Chain A
Amino acid sequence: MSSRPDRALDCDKVLLVQAEFDGELDAAQAAALAAHRSDCPVCQAALRELAQARELIREAPYERLSDEARRRLLDRLPAAARPAAPPVRQPLAWRRWFDWRAGGFGFGLGAACAAALAFLLLTPAAETLTQQVVAEHIRALQPGHLEDVVSTDQHTVKPWFDGRLDFAPPVKNLASAGFPLKGGRLDYIDDRPVAALVYQRDKHIIDLFVWPQPGDAGIESTVRQGYNVVHWTRGGMTFWAVSDVELAQLRDFAEVFEQTR
């Protein structure tokens, strides 16, 4: 966008004209606006532009999914979750995958990701969050998914989140304690965007998911599908660390994170 001032906003009713154009006003609001518009050249011009824009965009195609792409997508979706198995190329693959899942893992495949997804679908809602952070961690370990911003410098990682999140996650480099920062990415947990900070311990990756939550809760740990999960809430943020490092080390990580300013 240019920095050109928006001269058509010379009238503060222009966005209301647009709202009426989009069918967002009730009858009373629309009537009040019509009275104003009959005297306002700016709003009249705005209405003409809105109509022009709509005619233009009506020329733009609605991008339907082709049958071929649809089939490919549905076939590949479960295959992507279990890269070891060959893709099944037939229209009912989607349904078959569910049958396979319901049938008790009859395929005998070992991909952790497939297990994570199936697990998510099979277990009750109470532990959704733990499952989600573990599933995100597993998903992130697939090639190319680990970090969106790659930096060992918290002063690079922290600003990267500005504008991408409606909160500022605390980003700390814990290299001196043996947990160097590798980068960060955006993730999506419990229906909201969250910060995922990526740390390393020797060869192991630690994902730290952060989002705002009121309250205060000490460090708690659980194990899910072989991954250790450590969780705490402090200073208006909730933290979920997931990794395959030993539980004691992951708790160390949490404590170091909390003590580092």
Chain B
Amino acid sequence: MRVEEPSLSPDEGFAAIVLPHLDAAHNLARWLMHDAAAAEDVLQEALLRALTYFSSFRGGNARAWLLQIVRNTAYGAIATERARPLVPIAADEEEAGAVAELRATGDDPETSLIRSREQGGVRALIAALPFELREVMVLRELEELSYKDIAEVTRTPIGTVMSRLWRARRSLVEAAAKQGLTP
């Protein structure tokens, strides 16, 4: 089935190749899931899977490989959430409500405070995007992956990646304008 395996022994290999990308894996999981605990669960499960599938890793971009597993795990977790009608997801709506009161202001002594509140605002706007738009946005803007890598992580044709990215960015700009959030 498989050709040859990496020459590192499994423990060296996994620790050296996969573990350096834990931050990226967490970043993606955190943006795809609606709360920190769910993100950590997804990350944990993804690592377990990565360990299981590590023997089939054929070299190349390890970060994209791990992100693909995180993405699929998150996707599965969300599908499971949807299959169970009683999972409440409320925290982000509250955040979005608070955002409506925000107005961007110029530089003043409270800039840093406002900045941190704006982070909440942008976060809520991104969190409100549908999964398939959010994932391309995070992979492109925060992980700075190429279109080709994004296509691989999301198992989507490059053309679809491009149009989703465009829709994601437009939605973000429009939603920010509605909320009076300016960059």
Residues of A at the B interface (CB closer than 8 Å) are: 1, 6, 8-9, 14-15, 18-19, 22, 24, 49-50, 52-65, 69-70, 72-73, 76-77, 80-81, 94-95, 98, 101-102, 117, 120-122, 125-126, 128-129, 132, 135-136, 139, 144, 147-150, 164, 166, 185-186, 188, 190-191, 193
- Structural contact, A132 and B53, CB atoms closer than 8 A: yes
Question: Is B103 at the interface (CB under 8 A from chain A)?
Answer: no
State the interface size on chain B (CB cutoff 8 A). 66
- Measured CA separation A22–B126 after assembly (Å): 19
Q: Is the CB of A188 within 8 A of B1?
A: no
Chain A residues contacting B56 (CB-CB under 8 Å) are: 128, 132, 190-191
Q: Taking CB as reference atom, which chain A residue is nearest B43?
A: A73
With A50-B169, A64-B27, A188-B49 given, name 15 new contacts (CB 8 A).
Answer: A6-B167, A22-B147, A56-B122, A56-B125, A56-B176, A57-B142, A59-B183, A61-B123, A65-B25, A65-B26, A77-B51, A120-B52, A125-B4, A144-B80, A164-B79
List B127-176 residues whose CB lies under 8 Å from chain A. 130, 133, 137, 140-142, 146-147, 155, 162-163, 165-167, 169-173, 176
6 closest Cβ contacts across the A-B interface? A55-B183, A53-B169, A98-B11, A63-B30, A65-B26, A121-B10
A1 to B167, CA, bound (A): 9
Task: Let me know if A65 and B23 touch, CB within 8 A.
Answer: yes
Contact with A along B17-35 (1 / 0, CB 8 A): 0010011011100110000
Query: In whole Å, how far is B172's beta carbon from the nearest beta carbon of chain A?
Result: 5
Query: Do A128 and B55 touch across chains, with their CB atoms under 8 A apart?
Result: yes
| Cβ contact within 8 Å between A135 and B52 | yes
Tell me, rounded to whole Å, the shortest Cβ–Cβ distance linking B98 to chain A. 16
Q: Inside 8 A of B122's CB, which chain A residues have their CB? A: 56-57, 59-60
Q: Across the interface, do B22 and A52 meet the contact criterion of CB distance under 8 Å?
A: no
Q: Which of B51, B52, B171 has the most CB of A within 10 A?
A: B52
Nearest residue, chain B, Cβ from A15? B162
Question: In the assembled complex, which residues on chain A have CB atoms less than 8 Å from the CB atom of B130?
Answer: 1
Q: Contact between B167 and A125 (Cβ–Cβ < 8 Å)? A: no
Q: Most chain-B CB neighbours within 10 Å: which of A22, A56, A166?
A: A56
Q: Are B79 and A18 in contact (CB under 8 A)?
A: no
Interchain residue pairs with CB less than 8 A apart (5): A56-B125, A57-B137, A57-B172, A59-B121, A120-B55
* B173 proximity list for chain A (CB < 8 A): 49, 52-53, 56
A164 to B115, CA, bound (A): 38
Residues of the A chain whose Cβ atoms lie less than 8 Å from the Cβ of B19:
94
Cα–Cα, bound, A135→B170 (Å): 42
Contact A60 to B1, CB < 8 A, known contacts A15-B162, A69-B40, A121-B10: no
In the complex, A208 Cα to B72 Cα: how many Å? 19
Contact of A53 with B44 in the complex, beta carbons under 8 Å: no
Q: Nearest-CB distance from A25 to chain B (Å)?
A: 11
Residue ID in chain A nearest B25 by CB atoms: A65
A58 to B122, CA, bound (A): 9
The answer to the question of B178 belonging to the interface, with a C-beta cut-off of 8 Å to chain A, is no
| B15, B83, B147, B155: residue with the most chain A Cβ atoms closer than 10 Å | B83
Q: From the candidates A6, A64, A150, A186, name the one contacting B26 in the complex (CB within 8 A).
A: A64
User: Which residue on A lies nearest to B174, using beta carbons?
Assistant: A49
B64 interfacial by beta-carbon distance below 8 Å = no
Nearest chain B CB to A26's CB is how many angstroms away?
13
Docked pose: A98 CA to B172 CA in angstroms: 45
